[in-house]
Structure 1
Amino acid sequence: MDRELSLEFVRVTEAAAIACGRLMGKGDKIAADQAAVDAMRTMFDSVNISGTVVIGEGEMDEAPMLYIGETVGAGGMAVDIAVDPLEGTNLVAKGMPGAIAVLAVAPQGGLLHAPDMYMDKIAVGPKAAGKIHIDAPVKENLKAVASALSRKVEDLTVVILDRDRHSRLIKDVRDAGARIKLITDGDVSPVINVGIEGSGIHMLVGSGGAPEGVIAAAALKCLGGDMQGRLLPSDDCEIARAKKMGIGDINKVLTIDDLVHGEDAIFAATAITQGDMLNPVHYFGGGVRTHSIVMRYKSGTVRFVDAIHKLDRKSMIFKRT
């Protein structure tokens, strides 16, 4: 993919963040999500790609736009697109930190077509790549990560979604001596943090959405980190859905290269609410300021984009409605 596309994809996530950021704290997660979807879909029309949404807002009969299988773009290279126009709908509705607009793009066939179900996940940064396994006891994985980072287990911070299903996992991590950061929603942002040295986050573990797992894997692959996953279908219907989407072995341990194939991928995200490394959307008279991150696997480049947008010179998708 042309490197110039990186900034074009940032423009897409910026549009989604600007559109839904005005609804922060207003208690309406559905309206916030719809604003992000509408803006992201519109902005895709200006990007010179022939994109197919492989991870999006649902099937055609579930979502009017950015549905799985929808084609987007102004024409150009054939690519797969994974989107989450608003990762953290509850976070925006409640005005809480950690919400982002995010996408991942790879050449056609480059992204796993992950069904909408849970996935067990473990993610670490570059220095611990190749040192973990999803089937190993969490205590052993923590020891391996600590050794790779030349730290004690007590110095590690692990991110886990605060869910009842993780009660045993949380106990095991605490018993091993590591620190825990519990999050209420949105496990893509923490995976980015895992991959960036100095963020203070050293591992993410636990189950979350499989589509989000693919998007997070794209970010971590660009950063040189490591991730493994395994689908967790809840019934026969979900197993059938996974097989229909091309996943033959439902129990397979999915490596980062299974989740994101090949030697090229681009990841972009724009903060909506305050993040650990990204500042939230700020509105001011006549304009808005955004803070984004964009990564390209082929070059290894990671850019932070701090942008000021003059709304009187922008298209209507940026303006108050």
Structure 2
Amino acid sequence: MERELSLEIVRVTEAAALASAPWMGRGDKNEADGAATTAMRLMFDTVSIQGTVVIGEGEMDEAPMLYIGEKVGGGDGPEVDVAVDPLEGTEIVAKGLNNALSVIAIAPKGQLLHAPDMYMEKLAVGPQLRGKLSITDSPENTIAKAAEALGKSVSDLTVVVLDRERHQQLIQSLRSIGVRIKFLSDGDVVGAIAPSFPETGIDLYMGSGGAPEGVLAAAAIKCLGGELQGRLMPANDEEYKRCIEMGIADPRKVLDMDDMIGSGDVIFAATGVTPGEFLSGVRYLPDQRAETHSIVMRAKTQTIRHIRATHYMPNKSYLFRAGNMD
């Protein structure tokens, strides 16, 4: 993939963030998500790729655009797999909370896992713990190994967990050994990425979340030198069959980074919609301008770019078409 694509896909996440930000705190997650999806789809048409959405907003009959299998891009350029979440954290935006993002990952065609829409058990760590832990261990053993590898006491470790009823047993186990827990109301991608940013103070991400979000997070984590292990959690025979149909021969095997995003190059971009752990949200300025904060990373070079951009809103035609401007 050409390195110029890094900056091109940032323009796409910026568009989605700008389109969804006006819905912050308005209590309508569907409108926020729809605005982000429409803007992202329109901006994709300007990018020189022949892309196929492998992780998107759903199946063709469930999603009017950015559905799995949809072709995106300007019709020329490299053939690539595209994973998108136009608005990671729809509830976050609706409630005016932190850590909502617009996210994209692209990789050479055939490289990204076609992850089914179901839960995935995940263990995510930063570079210092890469290769030193296993998702098959108990929480107690995982924490003990992490503390030893990092040279910390257990009580000094911080673990991120989504605040969900399904995690009660995990939470009890972590509390019983005295580790610190940081809860997230939403934001599965942010939670998994956080241990790879030292400034967050997060050591591990544990628990289950969406499988598609796991692939997106793995793309970012590969660029950052960390590690994500996953294991699909089909809830019934229908979901198990769905995995087989999507090319996953053993739905219950432990998935490593190569299983999820391949061994080749990958580019990841995200723009903050609301303020968060490592990205600022959209900020409105005088004179009809707005500021965005984005990150774009490439696995091949492990270059990490933070991009702050100021946008003159009347010139953003996609916002009119997304229904956000009069």
Taking structure 2 as the reference length, the TM-score comes to 0.96
Would the aligned equivalents of 1:106 and 1:266 in 2 still touch at CA under 8 Å? yes
* Structure 1 position 286, deviation (Å): 1.5
- The answer to whether 1:172 aligns with 2:173 is yes
Mapped to 2, the partners of 1:143 and 1:104 lie a distance apart of 33
User: Can you list the C-alpha shifts for 1:133-158, whole angstroms capped at 9, x where unaligned?
Assistant: 11101111112222222212211110
Mapped to 2, the partners of 1:157 and 1:237 lie a distance apart of 36
Task: Report the AA paired with residue 30 of structure 1.
Answer: N
What SS does the aligned partner of 1:102 have?
strand
Identity of aligned residues (%): 57
Q: Which residue of 1 aligns with 2:106?
A: 105
- The answer to whether 1:291 aligns with 2:293 is yes
Task: Report the AA paired with residue 14 of structure 2.
Answer: E
* Structure 1 position 40, deviation (Å): 0.4
Mapped to 1, the partners of 2:41 and 2:196 lie a distance apart of 28
Q: Which residue of 1 aligns with 2:305?
A: 303
1:189-228 to 2 correspondence within 5 Å? Answer: 189-228=190-229
What SS does the aligned partner of 2:198 have?
coil
1:7-22 to 2 correspondence within 5 Å? Answer: 7-22=7-22
Q: Which residue of 2 aligns with 1:157?
A: 158
Q: Which residue of 2 aligns with 1:274?
A: 275
Q: Which residue of 2 aligns with 1:92?
A: 93
Q: Which residue of 2 aligns with 1:62?
A: 62
Taking structure 1 as the reference length, the TM-score comes to 0.98
Mapped to 2, the partners of 1:219 and 1:109 lie a distance apart of 18
* Structure 1 position 186, deviation (Å): 1.4
Q: Which residue of 2 aligns with 1:37?
A: 37
Mapped to 2, the partners of 1:316 and 1:61 lie a distance apart of 24
What SS does the aligned partner of 2:135 have?
coil
Would the aligned equivalents of 1:131 and 1:141 in 2 still touch at CA under 8 Å? no
Q: Which runs of 5+ in 2 are unaligned?
A: none
How many pairs are equivalent?
A: 321
* Structure 1 position 287, deviation (Å): 1.0
Task: Report the AA paired with residue 272 of structure 1.
Answer: V
Give 1:313's match in structure 2, choosing from 311, 315, 321. Answer: 315
Would the aligned equivalents of 2:124 and 2:193 in 1 still touch at CA under 8 Å? no
What SS does the aligned partner of 1:130 have?
coil
Mapped to 2, the partners of 1:3 and 1:176 lie a distance apart of 45
RMSD: 1.1
* Structure 1 position 216, deviation (Å): 0.5
What SS does the aligned partner of 1:116 have?
coil
Q: Which runs of 5+ in 1 are unaligned?
A: none
Mapped to 1, the partners of 2:97 and 2:2 lie a distance apart of 36
Mapped to 2, the partners of 1:171 and 1:122 lie a distance apart of 17
Task: Report the AA paired with residue 305 of structure 1.
Answer: I
Mapped to 1, the partners of 2:310 and 2:148 lie a distance apart of 42
* Structure 1 position 200, deviation (Å): 0.5
